[in-house]
Amino acid sequence: TVKETTTEWELLNDMKAVWLRNPKEVTEEEYAKFYHSLAKDFGDDKPMTWSHFSAEGDVEFKALLFVPPKAPHDLYESYYNANKSNLKLYVRRVFISDEFDDLLPKYLSFLMGIVDSDTLPLNVSREMLQQHSSLKTIKKKLIRKALDMIRKLAEEDPDEYSNKEKTDDEKSAMEEKKGQYAKFWNEFGKSVKLGIIEDATNRNRLAKLLRFESSKSDGKLVSLDEYISRMKSGQKDIFYLTGSSKEQLEKSPFLEQLTKKNYEVIYFTDPVDEYLMQYLMDYEDKKFQNVSKEGLKLGKDSKLKDLKESFKELTDWWKKALDTEGIDSVKISNRLHNTPCVVVTSKYGWSSNMEKIMQAQTLSDASKQAYMRGKRVLEINPRHPIIKELRDKVAQDSDSEGLKQTARLVYQTALMESGFNLPDPKDFASSIYRSVQKSLDLSPDAAVEEEEEVEEPEVEEKESAKAEEPEHEQYDKDEL
């Protein structure tokens, strides 16, 4: 008997690549497993969401996009310089590269996935492929699908649309997705804001994805659509305020009349928000209004004309008293209730928060800062007792130096409370001390008591000091 050995090939992996299969045939577990292999992340966290689709027409391709469960720690480091592409490009199932930055814009660089095209040429260099016109079409469709994917993540989150009625089955199915968009926003919200700054074409789509806290949100995140749905009758502008923290903004004097009249104000506390609002000028035909700047309208005040006339002497006098402080004008305010006065900036100038951000930059241009700071206006509260008393004092003796010092001190206090840095803290401190002296009935000429000089003993010579050194106890090595 002759034994013959034959060799046969056995196909161990007979499954098609996940992105080539029908999305209806792929399970969540398979998508999660594929994501972990793609991201080289073998933890237990599933991707937040994904989009699996095919594009047909002049350019045909299949794509699978994932939103990671967490943002990379270095996502925004060297944002405009580093190569951070997370998409792998295939042409007819042949891997080409994972370094095609033009497939997605920078602000969507956190997405991971696969793009497989049958339209792109295979027998050209990577450099020539990067210049291919079809890549622009692919990029456009990828952006649209990516933004739709993120929008659906928000729509499927019951925390986002809790006011919509759901059946018991729908509630059960959506329970797992509760809080998912808030998680996305905490991880990648800054990318959405950068997208609004960089991508004018999709600015309105991206604006729908914005979330923020407000004076009425009770710690929850709300959208611009939700804000508009709660706007008061007759309100034409979307009110917002920028600052370093929610706690700081809640104490801001700029909110006094707005809160009293039940207006909702958006809180922007991320430094990038200042840049964001330079590009996001309006939304759904509603203009944005920074409540710390000129132009705030809260309905008509029938007494405003009479108040302007009544306080004209004070406003003119105060403007002259502050001629060295860079104040453009002194006006009657419509935004104050408990505070005597605030300092506001011109509509297109820097806010106090933006001014601090620019001053903190190492290479900031001082001349540009002076230009962009814009005009400053001192707005006074005509119903406040301090302002009314100042008006009466000015009418009696407008040349009083003490009155001018008081007016300057009130202005400096308002400048600080409005969020600005004091240009001369020493001068402000001196004014406070003078006020304290006056309240204590101390003479302005009261002198500081001189300290009595005491002669210090001479230092002894080194030899003497050495002789007085304490002896150190000696230990026997055997005892240690």
The CATH number of the domain holding residue 224 is 3.40.50.11260
* Residue 195: both structure tokens together: 């997208």
User: What is the reported pLDDT for 168?
Assistant: 60
47 neighbors 32 (Cβ within 8 angstroms) = yes
Provide the number of structural domains found in the chain: 3
Cβ neighbours of 225 (radius 10 Å): 12
Percent of the chain whose predicted confidence (pLDDT) is above 70: 87
Query: What is the residue whose two structure tokens read 């008006």?
Result: 391
Instruction: Render 269-291 in DSSP notation, one character per residue.
Output: -SHHHHHHHHH--EETTEEEEET
User: What is the reported pLDDT for 267?
Assistant: 98
* Residue 166: both structure tokens together: 């759901």
Relative to beta strand 266-268, strand 237-242 is parallel
Query: What is the residue whose two structure tokens read 């622009």?
Result: 136
- Single-letter code of the amino acid located at 330: V
Q: Residue 73 gets which letter from DSSP? A: T
Residue 111: inside a domain, yes or no?
yes
pLDDT band for 480, please (50, 70, 90 cuts). very low
Q: Name the CA dihedral angle for 94, 100, 102, 104, rounded to a multiple of 10 degrees.
A: 80
The CATH number of the domain holding residue 389 is 1.20.120.790
pLDDT band for 469, please (50, 70, 90 cuts). low
383 is in an annotated binding site: no
- Average pLDDT for residues 273-289, to the nearest whole number? 96
User: What is the reported pLDDT for 96?
Assistant: 86
Which domain, by its residues, includes 379? Answer: 304-439
- Average pLDDT for residues 335-357, to the nearest whole number? 93
Distances (CA, A) of 107 to 79, 81, 163, 195, 417: 9, 13, 31, 5, 36
User: What is the reported pLDDT for 85?
Assistant: 75
User: What is the reported pLDDT for 368?
Assistant: 64
Same domain assignment for residues 308 and 282: no
Residues 6+ positions from 268 with CB-CB distance below 8 Å: 212, 240, 241, 242, 243, 274, 276, 277
DSSP 3-state of 85: coil
Domain limit, last residue, from 249, 270, 291: 291
Same domain assignment for residues 40 and 68: yes
Same domain assignment for residues 145 and 253: no
Residue 271: inside a domain, yes or no?
yes
User: What is the reported pLDDT for 161?
Assistant: 56
Question: What mean pLDDT value characterizes the chain?
Answer: 87
Same domain assignment for residues 271 and 237: yes
* Residue 106: both structure tokens together: 């920078």
Q: How far apart are CA 207 and CA 224, in angstroms?
A: 8
User: What is the reported pLDDT for 108?
Assistant: 95
Residue 413: inside a domain, yes or no?
yes
User: What is the reported pLDDT for 479?
Assistant: 44
pLDDT in tens, 56-91: 888 999 999 999 999 988 888 877 766 667 899 999
Residue 318: inside a domain, yes or no?
yes
- Average pLDDT for residues 282-289, to the nearest whole number? 96
Range with lowest mean pLDDT among 93-97, 113-117, 206-210, 262-266: 93-97
pTM, rounded to two decimals: 0.84
Range with lowest mean pLDDT among 192-206, 207-221, 390-404, 465-479: 465-479
Same domain assignment for residues 333 and 367: yes
Range with lowest mean pLDDT among 8-12, 17-21, 223-227: 8-12
- List phi, psi (to 5°) of 58: -65, -35
User: What is the reported pLDDT for 468?
Assistant: 56
Residue 179: inside a domain, yes or no?
no
* Residue 108: both structure tokens together: 């969507």
Residues 6+ positions from 336 with CB-CB distance below 8 Å: 253, 256, 257, 342, 379, 381, 384
Q: Reply yes or no on whether the pLDDT at 220 is more than 80.
A: yes
The CATH number of the domain holding residue 66 is 3.30.230.80
Distances (CA, A) of 141 to 57, 60, 86, 135, 445: 12, 11, 17, 10, 77
Q: In a 10 Å sphere around its CB, with 0-12 CB exposed, 13-18 middle and 19+ buried, how is residue 201 labelled?
A: exposed
